[in-house]
Structure 1
Amino acid sequence: MDRQLNQLLREKASEAGIQILGDGYDYSTDKSGSLCIATWYSCDDFVFHAVFKGASVDREGPNGTPLGIAASMGNLALAKFFIEHGATIDQRDKRGRTALTSAAGHGKLPLVKLLIHAGADLSGALSAAVDGAYENVVKVLLEAKAPVNEIVDSGLAMPPLLLACSKGKKKGSSIALLLLNAGADASYVRSSDGMSAVKFALWGQCDQKVFDELQKRGAPPPEKGFPVIRLV
């Protein structure tokens, strides 16, 4: 049945999906994961039915939480619906993603704005947007005062500025300048290997404007003979 249900929801055949589950289906436990599957396929009518029948808007499925899935897919209507029906805004899925980091990491600007307005925790969102090279999302997050020097992954130890510089001339230069103008720490050096914004900018072949701004803001120059190679 699960395979058939999946196919029906993929085809947005809400009524057929409801029928195959039957009148006695317990949406409160939702053992088939129908709510998350329907959210993934933007089968909105089924989602509305499932929630009205008692499906939890916070129950996580294989692809994340209902709100997180809606955010990553750019489904504004479903995201609003889940929020209105009590979804936990900052719930983290098994991978540690919130709805906002999912929206930011997929460049879904309307969802980012919605979640910020709903009071979402901004932690991790800026790095997600920078990693995806979504400049428009970065701008909105900076306007919302997202932490500009936050290090999300302690192992990788890359604040947004280093991440932007590593993206290179086409994708990262303009974002790096936005971050610097917002107060990013140009002097940060990664303790594990001595990598800095300047070194990542050299590797990424960023615009000269980035190097000029980094120097102006006190970035340490690379040591003589620094090899311009990919180190991450």
Structure 2
Amino acid sequence: MELVGSTLTATYAHPRPTPTNFLPAISTMASSYKNRFPHYSLTHSLSLPWRPSTYYKVAAITPTLAPFSKSSQGLTQSKMLPFVSNRTALFTRYTPDDWYRSNLTNYKESEMSRHSAERLRVDTSRMIQDKDQQTRKTQTDTTKNLGERVNDIVFWKSELNHEIDEMIGETNALTDMKKRLERALAETEGPLQVAQECLLHREKRMGIDLVHDDVEKQLLTVSFHNSLTREWGT
């Protein structure tokens, strides 16, 4: 895993150098006690200093009224127990190797946690960048589409206004034409009445005078055309 400007592998991922053990070896520590206390094998009961019953078993003696010095005359130096402080140092639970292994395990776990956190941080940063680019692209596309839609709306609005103006002009022209037709129809009212009146008076003729001549044909034609014109006007 690498970051911009620095290489994590150069700092953290190199093989761990062989640690320098500043503590003395176990054999050296064992040899350091030879001049102070005699060597003797420890029983199982003495190897568990954290058990309360251990101390009672070790310190158990036969009650006596004699001085303590006399009761201990039979004990040799090899059978005498060391002081509690020295005995605690001898009966420690862990060795330096255990301590080193524990610290090494903790170090490895911390390294794994750090690498996991670093991967999570890099993944999160990459996801943020991807989402930011996607959001910017979506915003750009949306802005472009909205601009095109606005231009289309403005264009069609102008087209509708133009069509409305043309329809208003045609409506006004039709209104004027209607008025002219109404005036022309009103002007045909006089000739129609004259033709009908002439036909009415011609019906008053008697005998041979009731002839169907050209004058009557023309009067009927005028009356018929005027009647059709009035029907169309209504």
TM-score by length of 2: 0.19
**Structure exhibiting the larger radius of gyration computed from Cα positions:** 2
* TM-score, L = length of structure 1: 0.19
